[in-house]
Amino acid sequence: MQKVTRDILVNKAKELLANGTVDRVYGWKKGEFAYDVTPALFKSEKELDEFVFGDFCGANVSKYLVAESKKAGGKILVFLKPCDTYSLNQLTTEHRVDREKIYAVGIPCEGMLTGSALKDKVDSVLSVETEGDTVKVETLYDGVKTFPASDLLPDRCRNCKSKKHVTYDELIGEDGEVLDSGRFDEVEKLEKMTPDERFAFWQGELSRCIRCNACRDVCPACTCEKCVFDNPKSGLENKAAADSFEEKMFHIIRAFHVAGRCTDCGECSRVCPQHIPLHLLNRKFIKDMNTFYGEYQAGEVVGNRPPVVNYTKEDIEPSEAVKRGE
């Protein structure tokens, strides 16, 4: 699937390490299986032997730059997919990363598979190979199975919002365009349901939450030093949802706190061990902001002011906002 190969990236990394442009590289390290790729830091040419790049390198590494760019030393090389560049821009806007210390190389992306989505469809995966848009999965008990890639891609890739890199120091391959995606279709489907149906849907989804906080911890917009949900003094702290209210509380506040800053990278849904479609909460906010206050894409431009910290005198009244569609 991916058009760039590992070797192109490793050669680029070696070149930049050798000429002193950067002194470390954030990339991905090989795992035990085809799909368990771990984001990792590489500090030397030798360490790059373990560098991998492939169809499972979906982790958005821009969040690691928050901590990494604060450390002493030279520039950090990162390879960013188009959607990751939006996150980097947003972090730059919020002064959470030191952009000067980052050397971003934009790489094209054909959509990234995820281990969990794959394992939903296939048991006991031994190896995975992709040829064009066909994914061949070798299994322990059912031989080789083939799938069209679109069957295995997560929602965020099937409804990719942009193949354009909004920030980079260098580009490998050609830049793409902002796409006209159907990313709000699912949200609209929910909006069309009756309140009872919507309540039942979300109650079902959120009741599976185990409060592992993975959605929060992976989110490039969630960069508070101390989250209210971890802080015993906040009055909101909870380690486990002791009542179904707390599940809703956590997810409403989580999504609200990143409203206007969420770039819709979809990491929250990728990491959820219980497959809760968390991005549908974030997308609701994005869709509402687009409808109420005009099109806005977080991370598109450095320095943009998110709608929630802005206003016009003619804004829609809350009572009108909930009446739409009636």
Partner 1 sequence: MRKIAKSALDSLFAAMSESKKVYLPVDGEGGARYQLWTEGTVLSEAVNTVRSAKDFFFPQTENLVEFKMEGKKLDVIDVRRETEDFVIFGVRACDVRSFDILDRVFLGAPVDTYYKNRREHGVIVSLACNKPAETCFCQTFGIDASAPAGDIVCHMTDDTLFLDAKTEKGEKLLATLEGVTEPCADSAADEQKALIRSRLDKLPLKGLTADKFGGDKTKEFFNDPAWASLSESCLGCGTCTFVCPTCQCYDIKDFKTADGVRRFRCWDSCMYSEFTKMSAGQPRLTQKERFRQRFMHKLVYYPANNEGIFGCVGCGRCLAKCPIQMNIVKVMKKLGEGGDKND
Partner 2 sequence: MSVTNEEYRPLIVAFCCNWCSYAGADLAGNNRLAYPADVKIIRVPCSCRVNPAFILRAFQRGADGVIICGCHPGDCHYTSGNYYTRRRMALLFSMLDYLGIEKERTRVEWVSAAEGAKFAATMNDFCKTVAALGENKRLEDLRCKK
Contacting residues toward partner 1, per CB under 8 A: 31-33, 35-41, 59, 64, 115-116, 119-120, 123-126, 140-141, 204-205, 208, 210-214, 216-218, 226, 230-232, 237-242, 270-271, 273-276
Report the distance separating Cα 237 and Cα 208, nearest Å.
19
Name the residue nearer to partner 2 (CB basis): 173 or 204. 204
Q: Which is nearer to partner 2, 33 or 256 (CB)?
A: 256
124 interface partner picked from partner 1, partner 2, none, CB below 5 to 8 A per type: partner 1
Q: Cα separation of 13 and 86, whole Å?
A: 22
- Cα–Cα distance for residue pair 271/219, rounded to 1 Å: 10
Alpha-carbon 98 to chain mean position: 20
Q: Count H helices, E strands: the chain?
A: 13, 8
| Residues within window 249-288 making contact with partner 2, judged by CB under 8 A | 249, 252-253, 255-256, 259, 281, 284-285, 288
Q: Are 111 and 56 in contact (CB under 8 A)?
A: no
Half-sphere exposure of 117 (CA within 13 A, CB side): 24
Q: Does 100 bind partner 2 (CB under 8 A)?
A: no
E strand or H helix that includes residue 29: strand 24-29
Given a contact cutoff of 8 angstroms between Cβ atoms, the answer to whether 175 and 164 are in contact is yes
Q: Which CB sits closer to partner 1, 276 or 289?
A: 276
The site partner of 217 among partner 2, partner 1, none (C-beta below 5 to 8 Å per kind) is partner 1
Q: Which tokens sit at 301?
A: 């431009």
Q: How far is the CB of 199 from partner 1 (least distance, A)?
A: 16
Q: Is 190 in the site for partner 2 (CB under 8 A)?
A: yes
Residue 319 interacts, among partner 2, partner 1, none and using kind-specific CB cut-offs from 5 to 8 Å, with partner 2
Q: Which is nearer to partner 2, 151 or 191 (CB)?
A: 191
Range list of β-strands (E), 43-165: 76-80, 102-106, 125-131, 134-139, 144-148
Amino acid at 266: G
Residue 53 partner contact from partner 2, partner 1, none using kind-dependent CB cut-offs of 5 to 8 Å: none
Binding region for partner 2 (CB under 8 A): 187, 190-191, 195-203, 228, 235-236, 242-243, 245-246, 248-249, 252-253, 255-256, 259, 281, 284-285, 288-289, 292-293, 307-313, 315-322
